[in-house]
Amino acid sequence: MKTAVFIEKRAGTERLRNVTLELTGKAAALMKPFHGEVVGIFVGDRLPEDTDDLFKYGMHRVVFYNNAKLKHLHSIAIKNIVAQFVKSEKPDIVLFGATHTGRDIAPLVAAQIYTGLTADCTQLVIDDYRDKGKILYQIRPAFGGNILATIVTPDHRPMMATVREGVMPLPEQKSNNTVKFEELTVDFKDEWVKSEFLRIIPKISKVDLSAANVIVSGGAGVGNKEAFKMIFQLAEALGAEVGASRAAVDFGFVEKDRQVGQTGSVVRPKLYIACGISGSIQHRAGMEESQKILAINKDPDAPIFGIAHMGIVGDLKEIIPLMIRYLREEG
Amino acid sequence: MSKIVVLAKQVPDTANIRGNAMKEDGTVNRAALPTVFNPEDLNALETALQIKDRTGREVILLTMGPYKAVEIIKQALYMGADAGYLLTDKKFAGSDTWATSYILAEAIKKIGGVDLVVAGRQAIDGDTAQVGPQVAEKLNFNQVTYVTALNDVTDKAITVERDGEFQTEVIKARLPLLLTVTSAANTPRYPSARNMLRYFKADIKENIPAEKRAEYERNGWVIPTLTFADLKDINEAQIGLKGSPTKVNAIRDIAVQGGDLKMYDPQLDGVKALVRDLMKQYVEVQS
Ligand SMILES: Cc1cc2nc3c(=O)[nH]c(=O)nc-3n(C[C@H](O)[C@H](O)[C@H](O)COP(=O)(O)OP(=O)(O)OC[C@H]3O[C@@H](n4cnc5c(N)ncnc54)[C@H](O)[C@@H]3O)c2cc1C
Ligand SMILES: Nc1ncnc2c1ncn2[C@@H]1O[C@H](COP(=O)(O)O)[C@@H](O)[C@H]1O
């Protein structure tokens, strides 16, 4: 068996995206019982600086398609290169990060090859399927997160899936695979480059929710931007990072890069405090894996209490200042 | 002038599940959910209408779904689309994203003279964000996904801004082109009263009594349908449940279940107890 992983750099840097390492670790774990191979493909003008990490997390080999024209996301060119790679390497499984790049390229590749692609998988398992032998079970939430569907691709190869960053935990165990690069030769056609990148404007963001041990998040229930300062104060008292629901972001209480959920960051801190957040399916999708959840909400029927471990029903405008005071006194 | 096709889907309103859409066991009663115009497809339509405002190009809505999806075609006509096609056939049922995009691409070829397709980034029932790019592949079009702003429009290229997660990319993309548009791109316009008056009777041919056909045609009230038989080159083995590479093996409803939840009193003592437990928790977290 063979699993291929699409390798991505974090835009604006020369380093690997976390999701690439997470997928490498997952692929290595999937392949291990079958003594299978994990192959990476990288398309671009320069390999990431930290490719060593790929081998540490269990990759066996990296195929590098090197082209100075492919600094940016030229979808059609990258798709054609990856499709050629798939046709010649014949992996059984191909994994992409469910990033804006992965979700741009993977569907094009699957469409060209005539195979299945399952988006945003939260679990990947190899098992027997009827008379088809071992196949990949691709488990994903659907229907706004109200159902979990298991999707299979029984008759087409490769079986393709995308996984969001932060969903597969990074494995602890590191392998001592030897570093092995190969260059891929492709019959590159200039007409594959159909777009011109006029300008790249970096987004300035200091927020890294994925690394935080404790997150205090505010929602629409906080009420206004002024009141949202309370969330920052509580976070400061706890040494925590600040998160938010989409409603809080949409109301302009806080910047978009703090949004937690389906269209924001997926976080799994040790403690998540949800203040004035109802607990919509889309919000829960980004935080329900947290080890402990505390919900503060004036509505005892708010869905957030369904997944919380600690709860307090009442007005956050009274409760949070009290909390801050006692935290400071006790600390 | 070449036409613009907008891809839109009528979806269950998965974002606002409450009341009778919840079953007793806490799972969702899918049949009881109201349907809506997929939110980001409204942003796709608005993008196309803005291009129409600037260039006079014709905007055509295309949706694949059951008869009920006529509702979103009418909504698009009210907002300013020039026409809408309902793509419907029993043979299409059970299509995954691969098969859906194949059918949509064949329908776009049938409509003809199209060099720009605008789709929503993703549909809220499946959240796959795959159908747009897969239509681009089947039409052999250029593509830009995650469009957040429309800048320049010329006969040969369209300049847009794309959300590249850590950066905004300003891209001049050559036509023929498919865009997928996010909710950040614009605020969809309201339906106009004039268009509502003009189109409120619109319906598919099959539903119009024979004696009224002439009147309907004269007034432009006939919503054209496309069926399997209309798509001449389509390969029946590659559509529907059978032609779809992916199969749904199992579905499990997720109930909002009560875990072991410890409640605290909102008064002074409760908050004190909470803070003490948090500190305990916090000490564990730090170690
Ligand atoms: C495609 C799609 C993607 C989405 N992605 C995301 C996402 O990534 N992240 C996300 O968060 N949302 C997302 N949403 C939006 C989501 O559906 C909800 O609208 C949103 O999460 C609601 O935010 P909220 O809980 O802050 O607001 P509300 O649902 O309005 O809840 C406010 C809560 O505050 C409580 N409250 C009010 N006043 C007080 C008070 N004084 N004290 C205590 N409690 C109070 C209320 O009881 C209520 O429970 C998405 C939606 C769609 C359609
Ligand atoms: N049945 C359909 N009819 C028309 N357009 C569709 C259909 N399904 C998906 N689309 C388009 O493809 C986009 C992405 O859908 P999805 O891949 O299901 O998330 C949607 O926002 C629509 O623009």
Q: Structural domains in chain A?
A: 2-192 (3.40.50.620), 209-330 (3.40.50.1220)
A residues 50-69 lying closer than 8 A (beta carbon) to B: none
pLDDT recorded at residue A203: 86
A93-134 pLDDT, tens digit per residue, is 999 999 999 999 999 999 999 999 999 999 999 999 999 999
| Rounded percentage of chain A residues whose pLDDT exceeds 90 | 79
For β-strands A181-183 and A61-66, DSSP reports them as parallel
pLDDT recorded at residue A116: 98
Apex B265 CA angle, B264 and B269, nearest 5: 100
CA B178, CA B141: separation in Å to the nearest integer? 6
Please say whether the beta carbons of B129 and B122 come within 8 A. Answer: yes
A residues 152-171 lying closer than 8 A (beta carbon) to B: 152-156
A211 Cβ under 8 Å from any chain B Cβ: no
pLDDT recorded at residue B287: 43
Residues of A in contact with B159 (CB under 8 A): 198
Taking the mean position of all CA atoms in its chain, how far away is CA B12?
11
CA A96, CA A108: separation in Å to the nearest integer? 12
**How many other C-beta atoms lie within 10 A of the C-beta of residue B248?**
14
B85-139 pLDDT, tens digit per residue, is 999 999 999 999 999 999 999 999 999 999 999 999 999 888 899 999 999 999 9
Q: Ligand 1 within 6 A of A193 CB? A: no
Point out which residues pair with A265 in neighbouring strands. A260
Name the region of A177 (left: φ>0; alpha: ψ -120 to 50; beta: rest): beta
- Given a cut of 60, is residue A202 above it in pLDDT? yes
Q: Structural domains in chain B?
A: 3-243 (3.40.50.620), 259-287 (no CATH)
Q: Ligand 2 within 6 A of B97 CB? A: yes
Pocket test for ligand 1, best of B16, B17, B33, B124 (most atoms within 8 A of CB): B124
pLDDT recorded at residue B259: 57
Q: In angstroms, what is the span from residue A244 Cα to ligand 1's centroid?
A: 9
Q: Which residue is closest in CA terms to ligand 2's atom 18?
A: B123
Q: Number of A to B CB contacts under 8 A, please give it.
A: 253
Range of lowest pLDDT (A261-270, B24-33, B197-206)? B24-33
Q: Which atom of ligand 1 is nearest to the CA of A245?
A: 11
Q: Which atom of ligand 1 is nearest to the CA of B124?
A: 1
ipTM confidence: 0.86
